[in-house]
Amino acid sequence: MTSLRPEQAVALVLKFYEQTRVEGCALDEDGDMLLGQWGIYDFTGQEWFHFDLTRQFILGDSEDDEDINQLSLTLFFDPIPDLRAIQADNKWCASLDDLTEFENFIKDSAAYQVITSLKPAKIEMNFDSI
């Protein structure tokens, strides 16, 4: 599936965070956060520009009893010169109150400005426990 455009991916992830609460996560205690991150990485033997939006859920009521899960949507792009010129970066969104600032950070970034004119080479969605 490579028909999902970057603008659609961002809109879907932000809407999901805004409208869907996860039972057992304390939103006001960093139990449900978003992470936007990008950069060129070679995790699999092939170099890609990763544009990743991750929702992190922390379940449990104490540090000794925490279950940390991450749902990530990653768009992969060929590392063309315009993307190579972009410094890797990231930002956390810790609450609904921070969502507008987070969205502005993403949309104002050089990464977003470049990738909106590109089609992802591949797209992955992963759910991991860490």
pLDDT digits over 78-123, tens only?
999 999 999 999 999 999 999 999 999 999 999 999 999 999 999 9
pTM of the model: 0.91
Burial label for 69, CB within 10 Å (0-12, 13-18, 19+), is middle
Q: Label residue 62 by pLDDT band (50, 70, 90).
A: low
Q: How far is CA 37 from the centre of its chain?
A: 6
User: How much is the mean pLDDT over the chain?
Assistant: 92
Check pLDDT > 80 for residue 26: no
Enter the tokens of residue 62. 């104490």
Enter the tokens of residue 46. 């092939």
